[in-house]
Amino acid sequence: MKAFTKVSGVAAPMDRANVDTDMIIPKQFLKSIKRSGFGKNLFDELRYLDEGMPDQSCEGRPVNTEFPLNLERYQGASILLARENFGCGSSREHAPWALDDYGFRAILAPSYADIFYNNSFKNGLLPVILDEAIIDKLFTEMYAEEGYELTIDLEQQQVITPSGESFAFEVDEFRRHCLLNGLDDIGLTLEDADFIKAYEKKRRAEAPWLFDTIK
């Protein structure tokens, strides 16, 4: 996993509540057996005016010129400003894969759906939680200023605006540690293999019906 320490970039809006994972990456693209290449179909049904198909080039597709990510001013954005309950719906990790592949490194929102929140950390994508009033303020500033750039400093746990104003955010210590260092979760867990084996040994004795039934 790629590390996340400090990211500065243009912020783009996804100005609606309850953005679901079907909206982030529609189901037809989930047929891929790969982990990459989802960025061109991020928000497909909002970005384009026709129905997208897997393995189709997006060159020449009719574009929804009103959708923010299609506007000149938000090109190259790496920070997504969003609303309440972002990423609700399915557990598809294709959602953070698509956001990451498009070029987003962080999301700022008042809240996230639990599974999406979890999945993001596994992919070097930082979901920052800020109070609704702060998010409102950032939306207002962003709309007012073309090229509005934010800096997200995970080390210091701060979001910094162009005027130098900063907002602190909370993040789990374990997740922060993994993200700062780009650590592989599985490798870390396997360092505790003895604990897992000891638990298993105890449960085999107590509850043998849990083992060796499916084979």
Partner 1 sequence: MAGKTLYDKLWDAHLVKQRDDGSALIYIDRHIVHEVTSPQAFEGLRLANRQIWRVDSVLATPDHNVPTTVKERASGVEGIEDPVSKIQVKTLDDNCDSFGITEYKINDRRQGIVHVIGPESGACLPGMTVVCGDSHTATNGALGALAHGIGTSEVEHVLATQCLVAKKMKNMLVKVDGKLGKGITPKDVVLAIIAKIGTAGGNGYAIEFGGQVFRDMSMEGRMTVCNMAIEAGARAGMVAVDETTINYVKDRDFAPSAAHWDAAVKEWQNFVSDDDAVFDSVVELDGSAINPQVSWGTSPEMVVDVSAAVPNPSDEADSVKKAGMERALVYMGLQAGQKITDIHLDRVFIGSCTNSRIEDMRAAAAVVKGRTKAASIKEAIVVPGSGLVKAQAEAEGLDKIFVEAGLEWREPGCSMCLAMNADKLGAGEHCASTSNRNFEGRQGYGGRTHLVSPEMAAAAAIAGHFVDVRQFELEGE
State yes or no: residue 30 binds partner 1 (CB under 8 A): yes
Which of 9, 37, 39, 89 is the binder for partner 1 (CB under 8 A)? Answer: 89
User: Which residues in 55-74 contact partner 1 (CB under 8 A)?
Assistant: 55
DSSP 175-192: HHHHHHHT--HHHHHHTT
Measure CA 80 to chain center: 9
22 binds partner 1 (CB under 8 A): yes
d(CA 43, CA 23) in angstroms, rounded, equals 6
Q: How far is CA 148 from the centre of its chain?
A: 20
Closest-CA residue to 185 (of 132, 112, 107, 118): 118
Residue 180, amino acid: L
Q: Per the structure block, which two tokens stand in for 176?
A: 């922060």
Judge contact between 42 and 24, C-beta under 8 A. Answer: yes
Residue closer to partner 1 (CB basis): 6 or 204: 204
Residue 104 tokens read as: 């987003």
Among 45, 141, 149, 153, binds partner 1 (CB under 8 A): 45
CA 138 vs CA 8, 39, 55, 93: distances in Å: 15, 25, 36, 27
Task: Give the residue with the Cβ less far from partner 1, 6 or 203.
Answer: 203
Tell me: does residue 213 bind partner 1 (CB under 8 A).
yes
If binding is defined by CB under 8 A, does position 49 make contact with partner 1?
A: no
Whose Cβ is closer to partner 1: residue 19's or residue 79's? Answer: 19
The number of CA neighbours under 13 Å toward the Cβ of 45 is 11
Number of chain residues interacting with partner 1 (CB under 8 A): 64
* Residue 47 touching partner 1 (CB under 8 A): no
Q: Should residue 83 be labelled a site residue for partner 1 when binding is judged by CB under 8 A?
A: yes
- The binding site for partner 1 (CB under 8 A) comprises 16-18, 20, 22-23, 26-28, 30-35, 45, 51, 54-55, 83-85, 88-93, 96, 111-115, 118-119, 122-123, 172-174, 177, 185-186, 188-190, 192-193, 195-196, 199-200, 203, 206-215
